[in-house]
Amino acid sequence: MKKEYVVIGNSVAGLSAVRAIRAIDREGSITVVSEERHLPYSRVLLTHYVAGKLRTDDLFLIQEAFYQKMRVRLLRGVRAVRVVPGERGVELDDGRWLRYDAVLVATGARPYFPAVFARGPEGVLGLRTLEDAVRIREAALSGSQIAIVGGGPVGIKLACALQEAGLSPTLLVSSPHILSQVADQEAAAIIERHLARAGVRVRCGVNVEELVAGRRGLQALMLSDGSVLACDMVVVCKGVRPQVELVAGRVRVRRGVVVDAGMRTSAPGVFAAGDVVEVRDLITGEERPSAIWPHAAAQGRVAGTNMAGGRVAFPGALQRNALEVLGLPVVAMGVTRVPADPAWECVITRSKVAYRKLVLKRGRLVGAVLVGDVEGAGIIQAAIRRGDAGWRQLVTPRAS
């Protein structure tokens, strides 16, 4: 019998699920429901678009032909309203009803806006969609004053992009240093110095207290240190939150959709993958959403395979980020901040151009921060995943 698959979400998790389903099931019908009208594009590359290094055409991950090759029915610009596991169907906003044997919820996440920005005037936005990026690019080209809130990878990449586009953006960070969720203080200091040399203003330890709106939208930000920052646009990069409305109340949801290692939700036939789920962290064992690209791709593949009757598992999440800050490569993986506990130690090598820190817990490699020289980062990641003691060869400097 032909199986009917429905994939809600048309980004990396959804696509890799489609590939995985087709690799096993050549007969079944696959329907992809996409809220956006565009072909899937790479959200990570949006900052490159803002910088003017890529055109919109370069952002698309696949061509239209992919859907024909995979024999996928693509519904564009259609939103799924709810998934009803009891009747094995999905209701769409145009009133259609899709029956499924297996459905994948890959609705992703949306930017998180702190309360002060919640009902902000024109000029407050996040950076998640192509439309956001186009608006920021237009503002950048018209020479607007743009402030960025949030010192995470997205905020930093956007600041770099705007700097490359010829602006001098301001990065507002509420933590005492940038990348507070990702890297340690010393690495952050190196990156901050690098940003400052390039002309990006970074202000740490400040919060936005109030938005000052004028007749034509945003005019200024009142900051917690009492100063006022004039700007026409503020981009909030304070992380993302899973979009769980579609299945809320029908499957188990905490911060994200709760799934097992096979990406199955609590309802039979309903799978979830990508930024929408929360997964167990390999190192800390904590269940939390992990909004990173490689996880979405791997989870999509796991979900797709299991939907088509295979049996695979997702090994667990390893938090990691790679970014290029105006020519300075940065990689941070696993646990990067060391608690004051004798069981933890750090092995740090510093040179003129590089800072490399390995974090060990009871002799086991659990994290790393590499700035300037990221050669062999993957080897370190593999060592973290294996959890063996053979990490020492990783610190010995490379003979050129």
Partner 1 sequence: MLSIAVDETRCNGCRRCEAVCQVVSLANGGLALPRIRIHRGEGGWRVRICRHCEQAPCADACVSGAMRADPARGVVELDASRCVGCYSCVMECPFGAVFMVEIEAGGCRAVKCDGCRERGDLWCARYCPTGALRAGETSGAVATQIRRERAWRLHGAQPYGGGARWR
Partner 2 sequence: MQKVLVIDADRCTGCRQCELVCSYEHEGVYAPTLSRIRLVKFEDRCLNVPVVCGFCDKPPCEDVCPTGAMGQRAGQPYAVVREENCIGCKECVHACPLGAVAMHPRKGVAMRCDLCQGDPACVKVCAPGALRYEPLDAAVRQKRRARVVALGVLRSPEEEEC
Contact residues toward partner 2 (CB under 8 A) are 23, 261, 302, 312-315, 379, 382, 385-388
Whichever of 172 and 331 has its CB closer to partner 1, that residue is 331
CB of 55: closest distance to partner 1 in angstroms?
Answer: 12
CB of 311: closest distance to partner 2 in angstroms?
Answer: 8
Whichever of 11 and 145 has its CB closer to partner 1, that residue is 11
CB of 308: closest distance to partner 2 in angstroms?
Answer: 12
Residue 396 binds partner 1 (CB under 8 A)? yes
Residue 349 binds partner 1 (CB under 8 A)? no
Tokens at 336, concatenated: 């990067």
Q: Assign 393 to helix, strand or coil.
A: helix
CB of 398: closest distance to partner 1 in angstroms?
Answer: 6
Residue 1 binds partner 1 (CB under 8 A)? no
Whichever of 114 and 294 has its CB closer to partner 1, that residue is 294
CB of 223: closest distance to partner 2 in angstroms?
Answer: 46
The correct pick among 120, 121, 262, 376 for binding partner 1 (CB under 8 A) is 376
List the single partner that 261 binds among partner 1, partner 2, none, CB under 5 to 8 Å by kind. partner 2
Separation between Cα atoms, residue 205 and residue 173, nearest integer Å: 6
List the single partner that 294 binds among partner 2, partner 1, none, CB under 5 to 8 Å by kind. partner 1
Quote the longest CA-to-CA distance of the chain: 68
Helix (H) or strand (E) holding 395: helix 392-395
How many beta carbons lie within 10 A of that of residue 281, not counting itself?
17
List the single partner that 400 binds among partner 2, partner 1, none, CB under 5 to 8 Å by kind. partner 1
Tokens at 115, concatenated: 């309360």
List the single partner that 313 binds among partner 1, partner 2, none, CB under 5 to 8 Å by kind. partner 2
CB of 20: closest distance to partner 1 in angstroms?
Answer: 11
Residue 254 binds partner 1 (CB under 8 A)? no
The correct pick among 58, 94, 225, 388 for binding partner 1 (CB under 8 A) is 58
Cα–Cα distance list, 173 to 224, 283, 313, 387 (Å)? 11, 27, 38, 34
Cα–Cα distance list, 284 to 97, 318, 358, 383, 390 (Å)? 41, 9, 16, 16, 20
Residue 45 binds partner 1 (CB under 8 A)? yes
> Are 187 and 203 contacting, i.e. CB atoms less than 8 angstroms apart?
no
Helix axes 153-164, 185-198, angle to 10 degrees: 20
Separation between Cα atoms, residue 275 and residue 256, nearest integer Å: 8
Whichever of 88 and 157 has its CB closer to partner 1, that residue is 157
Residue 281 bridge partners (DSSP): 317
Separation between Cα atoms, residue 305 and residue 299, nearest integer Å: 10
Whichever of 293 and 344 has its CB closer to partner 1, that residue is 293
Residue 361 bridge partners (DSSP): 344, 364
Whichever of 268 and 315 has its CB closer to partner 2, that residue is 315
Least Cα distance to 222 among 238, 210, 239, 234 occurs for: 210
Burial of 170 by CB count in 10 Å (0-12 exposed, 13-18 middle, 19+ buried)? buried
The correct pick among 161, 183, 308, 333 for binding partner 1 (CB under 8 A) is 333
DSSP assignment of 183-227, as one string?
S-HHHHHHHHHHHHHHT-EEEES--EEEEEEETTEEEEEEETTS-
Q: What is the 3-state secondary structure (H, E, C) of 10-64?
A: CCHHHHHHHHHHHHHCCCCEEEEEECCCCCCECHHHHHHHHCCCCCHHHHECCCC
The residue range among 50-58, 68-76, 100-108, 347-355 that interacts with partner 1, by the rule CB under 8 A, is 50-58
List the single partner that 213 binds among partner 2, partner 1, none, CB under 5 to 8 Å by kind. none
The residue range among 27-35, 214-222, 239-247, 373-381 that interacts with partner 1, by the rule CB under 8 A, is 373-381
CB of 385: closest distance to partner 2 in angstroms?
Answer: 6
Q: Which residues bind partner 1 (CB under 8 A)?
A: 16, 42, 44-45, 48, 53-54, 58, 61-62, 293-294, 297-298, 301, 320, 322-324, 326-327, 329-331, 333, 374-379, 381-382, 392-393, 396, 398-400
